[in-house]
Amino acid sequence: MTLESKALAIAPRFGSGVVTKKLRSWVLFMRTKPLGGFGLIIVFVVLFIALTADIISPFDPLGLSSNVLVSPSGEHAFGTDRLGRDILSRVIHGSRISIYVGLTSMLASSIAGAFIGTASAYFGGKTDIVVQRFIDATAAFPTLLLALALTAAFGSSLNNIIFALVIVFTPRVARVVRSVSLSIKETPYVEAGRAIGASDLRIMLRHVLPNTFASLIVVSTSLIGSAVLIEASLSFLGVSGLPASVISWGSMLGGDVLIDFPNAPWVGIAPATALTVAVFGVNVLGDALRDVLDPRLRGTQGAGAGT
């Protein structure tokens, strides 16, 4: 019996045909996009760790002890740092900052970029020209360099980092949404909305913007991995402004870790591995969602399968 048939056999036990359809969709996604399914599992695990950090941490992440630079052992699975703090507990709590920065900056930039991109495409003319020139000017700067400059201008704090990331990511979202909205605004149902006297705002919110969600989900997913990496880079450089009581994977890779790493490599390997796995999971999930939600790619894959 295949996975799909098993899913169909189990699904009726949980309720209506809606549940069956949802379960079938998930099974098909895991089968056709195994790497994307693996990324989804990683994302769920990171979210679970972040939400239950206080429960699953074996030690106080800020607690000092005399066990300085102890190598990984049964008591300290990832070892300890130069202050005797348990690295596993710090990695677990550090996931919270990455999740907070990634999700907050993604949501804010996605909302702002979606409205800007939709309005730019819908109104066109001078509005579109002005918006696109601003987007082009922002895209000319390297992402990390622009985030670093904005953080220095706003001041070092976690919320300022998020604000800087929103400014950096919003043009990227707006460009994608605009490209999709340009074709949507010429569709018959949008023309029909204009003919019956619907306002521009109603047409954009009810007819244009909802039809950009597939592309918006794809680009938004990729922003999470970028945000996590940029926050870690800024923390590594020491410009994040985070107090010592706030733990992030980036801050765990900076400071005295560079000095201790040659003799105690576990102090850097653990947070670096956590960061790498989390970003990898988000990125492969985003790639899988792009393949599933983009109708042009679905058509290409179907044509390739038939040859």
Domain boundaries, the chain: 1-32, 46-298
**Which residues, other chains included, contact 283 with Cβ-Cβ below 8 Å and sequence gap of 6+?**
39, 222, 225
pLDDT score at 127: 87
Taking the C-alpha atoms of residue 307 and residue 302, their distance in angstroms, rounded to an integer, is 9
CATH class of the domain defined by 46-298:
mainly alpha
Which pLDDT score, from 0 to 100, does residue 27 have? 73
Please state the pTM of the whole predicted model.
0.80
Q: Which of 89, 163, 178 is nearest to 131 (CA)?
A: 178
Neighbours of 64 (CB within 10 A): 12
pLDDT the model gives residue 306: 42
Q: Which of these, 244, 241, 243, lies nearest to 151 by C-alpha position?
A: 241
Q: Quick check: 79 and 73 in contact, CB under 8 A?
A: yes
Type of residue at 235? S
Angle at 182 between CA 177 and CA 188, to 5 degrees: 120
Supply the pLDDT for residue 105.
Answer: 92
Q: What is the pLDDT of residue 250?
A: 83
Q: What is the pLDDT of residue 22?
A: 65
* pLDDT value at residue 298: 52
DSSP designation for 80: B
Instruction: Please give the Cα distance from 117 to 204 (Å, whole number).
Output: 11
Q: Which residues of the chain have pLDDT under 50?
A: 1-16, 299-307
∠ CA(172), CA(178), CA(182), 5° rounding? 160
Cα-based distances in Å from 132 to 145, 166, 175, 270, 301: 21, 17, 8, 42, 32
